[in-house]
Amino acid sequence: MYKFALFCHKYIQVMCVLLMQERQVVYSLNQQVLRTDASGMPLEWIDFKEAVRIYHLGQVAYTCGVPLYQIHGGHNAITGLRSIIEINSIVATHGDSHAVLKARAHYVPPLNNQTLFSRDLHLCLYCGTQFAARGLSRDHIMPLSAGGADGWNNVVTACKRCNNHKAGRTPEQAGLELLAVPFTPTHAEYIYLQGRRILADQMSFLLAHFPRSSPLHKRLSRLI
């Protein structure tokens, strides 16, 4: 167990060095920070306020990636020096054992339309057209009326026109072809699907936690 923990620590250190080599730029305070546990397991996205809080509480184990922004605090009454917190794009924290549970094979993240549409790249999986979120809907491959489940493996993104045409039928009954097989994302994949304006270093970090067989590898390659 000790050797495995030491290996994880060294692996994370090497990854951090590589990620820090990215060119430094100035980022908006709206840029999300990727929070992980001390072993490097992705936990969640946090804003700069939450990042400052965990720095202040001493919960930061180490940081990775590019510096995002500097937060300036008050001046020390004795030294006159002003406190400055530099926040990186990836922050590892102590004491989040719930990540171990989320890493297990049977973990099922909550289903919502935002992450469903992200999983399917905002494409209608019947006609293949890409839409903004307002033009999309959740379709149940096996209709709810026929006993289908409202779960990841039975839902796909569909444009409203295709969904209305399919109605309460299966794709075969409606004469539609499913362009991709639905799947349940792992916790790391779910974190990615929740992200907004994900930076290159954050994306590299998350990809390292995707299963090799993840359909997202092929889907994301279309965006490169």
Task: Output the DSSP codes for 151-195.
Answer: SGGGEEEEEHHHHHHHTTS-HHHHT----S------HHHHHHHH-
**Which residues on adjacent β-strands are paired with residue 139?**
156
Q: Where in the chain is the domain with CATH 1.10.30.50?
A: 113-174
Q: What is the pLDDT of residue 15?
A: 45
Q: What is the pLDDT of residue 50?
A: 94
CATH of domain 113-174: 1.10.30.50
Q: What is the pLDDT of residue 223?
A: 67
Q: What is the pLDDT of residue 110?
A: 95
Q: What is the pLDDT of residue 221?
A: 82
Q: What is the pLDDT of residue 27?
A: 80
Taking a C-beta distance cutoff of 8 angstroms, is the pair 146, 168 a contact? yes
Q: What is the pLDDT of residue 18?
A: 42
Q: What is the pLDDT of residue 99?
A: 57
Tokens linked to 110: 């909550």
Regions of the chain with pLDDT less than 50: 1-23
Q: Rounded CA gap, 95 and 57, in Å?
A: 12
